[in-house]
Chains A and B, each alone.
Chain A
Amino acid sequence: MELVLPNELGYELIARDAVAAFARRAGMPRDQIDDVKTALCEACINAIEHGNSMNPELRVQVSCCVDDDRLVIEVCDQGVSPFAPKAEPLSMVEKVSGFGSLRGMGLMLISQLSDESGFVPHGEVGNCFRFAFQRHRAASLSC
């Protein structure tokens, strides 16, 4: 399934409820759905605030695909400046000590909640962030 959202903070909550319904439909366990929801909100907020720089004219696209092995989610923005993550993310100790921005927290959280995550090449303008969750139950392919 695909979901296209206005680039406005708050709409990540609608995306969260849509994706949670999709994951329930796929038969994922509740605790894993909670991880999916948190990761999705963080990815959408990044797209809205950073990728799309809060520009209300732009959109955020969320795609979900589930197969036997995993649930894969992509969150794409239309930002003109590519996202350039620091080579070495700051550690929690450095952040708490006030070095750098607290903002990179979202990506760190996603990487801990999901089984894999990262930016992927994307044919169009903008950043595309993909994260995936391993599944424990069999299912047939559906997107």
Chain B
Amino acid sequence: MIAEIALAILWLAAALAVLQLGVGSYALTARGAEFLRAVRPIAVVQGLLVAVAFALLIVLFLRTDLSVKLVAANSHSLKPLIYKIAGAWGNHEGSMLLWVTVMGLAGGFVALLERRLNERTMVATLAGQAFVSLGFYAFMLFSSNPFERLNPAPVEGNGLNPLLQDPGLAFHPPTLYIGYVGLSIAFSFAVGALITRDVGPAFARAMRPWVMGAWIFLTLGITAGSWWAYYELGWGGWWFWDPVENASLMPWLAATALLHSVSVLATRNALKAWTVMLAVVAFSMSMVGTFLVRSGILTSVHAFAVDPERGSFILTLLAIYIGGALALFGLRASTVTEGAKFHLFSREGSLVMNNVLLVGVLGIVLMGTLYPLVTEAFGTKVSVGPPYFNPVSAIFVFPMLVIMAAGPLMRWRQDNGRKLANLLAAPALVAAATLALVVVFGGEIGALPLLGLVFAAGLAVASVLPLWKRNLRRTPAHIWGMVIAHLGIAVALAGMASESAFNTEKLVASEIGQSHTVGPWTVELQGVKPIAGANWTALEARLVARYGDSNVQTVLNPQARMFASPPTATSEAALLTRWNGQLYAVLGEEGEDGRWQLRLWWKPFVPLIWYGGLLVGLGGILSLVGRTVRDLRRKGEPELEPISEPAASKPAAGGQEALA
């Protein structure tokens, strides 16, 4: 029964989305003004209904109702509780339902709380949002129904892929999805503002929390995904420019550019068209990401051709939304005024340059990810991997880091450079000192890791300089947020560079009782014994590690696990973290001579990658909270000159400039 009720509720929610779009569109016409008030309640109810449908899916998974096809295919009665819940979204249908749920809830939330925006723009936004969700409702109801029954019901379920049975990964996909969906809200705002010709600071302030929220979730999602790949896949890598990784990186790059641009629009009333354009690009990238991950095209173009239903559906949605948004943009670009002017050598100027560079990196990642699909369609299979992405993205990233160091120290509108030169002396010195130190003591390392270390050191110093001579207690939260986020980038970069520069690896076939050295560590294999968990059995090694001449012994227990359902072998690496790096141990096979395969890595400063990611996320959260509190406090009073007020329904149609 539950499945049928949930399906009915889902249809009802979809019907409400149709209503939201219809009533919203009519309300915007000359005669429909009386309907303006109806749209918000519809959006709220639509969000609640779809959330109920999703909750019911979780209930089905909790009860392991095997007569539901999705549950049978992805769950198992013996699975730990947390993975039963996570199983609800660890698959195609469930994740699509999660997508519309987050989207519906976010729409309801906007409808309930957002009061700063002109009501017509608000309604246009909600109608746009309903239009986007409708595509996903249709996708789910017509081609991937999560509540489909299975008759006869099997005795036992298939189980969840053991690699996914990990707390980190249980929450990685929802985190990224919330990020994707947040960008869809930003997209709806942009569409709404274009429809009512209302692109201004009020629009930017309404959109900003959603962009920031989405960006925070994307940042944390990517960080968590990279950490998961690092310790769960057992090969000690943290980023491989894999298409699935790129699919999450591309929206992040676009959102980063959008985030900076929307802040300039909110506070300086500049970069109007550019902000709208980036909102469209950011959402396009989350759609491209969904398409790549969900269509099966990544494994092979041929796989996609054999089963093109889902992929074509998403591709069609992509074409409709992006094509539609670009057409609307083309029609309305002339009504978007240029906004406040500024000099290249100013804080806005540096933001624009970095935005352009970010979009450049985005272009490279997009090209490198999609190009193999293109050549495969023509019959040639090529691979594009780290040897392409690392140096090519570096062309854009290193100039970006320099501008990132200088930009926050510049004045708005125009900077004369005198103060800047003094301030930047410190980071330049630190960078030079790092260069000297690494060249003298670092041994032979590649050019990119070397540059990475040098730039990270310089940027770390430069990123805290905006606090120089400020009263720290009176510094607003969003300044702290910016400083911490920029510092986080420097920290993460230091970790990445250090990992590629100083990593040491040891592969050994070890007898019990034998000792091995890796980097500064001595590791002794003391024994291997079998153990069992809820739905797996494993061999667990006992390794004793000592650092340098120290007598302190630490035990590590890497495991080789065997899951019963589905039958899969996984490795649980053992990690030992010190302030200056991580020892990473993996247990392999037993050889015929009774010796055990061990893989040991010493990775200096590698945890900085994820600490950096967390700092970036923390900076975002501080900034979001600070901005929101400020915005709420200023509610009702215009932050800017009257010209920028949205009340003036139609700004003078003067500026033809697209990029302003």
A and B co-occur in one complex: no
- Partner-A contacts on B (CB < 8 A): none
Chain A interface (Cβ < 8 Å from any Cβ of B): none
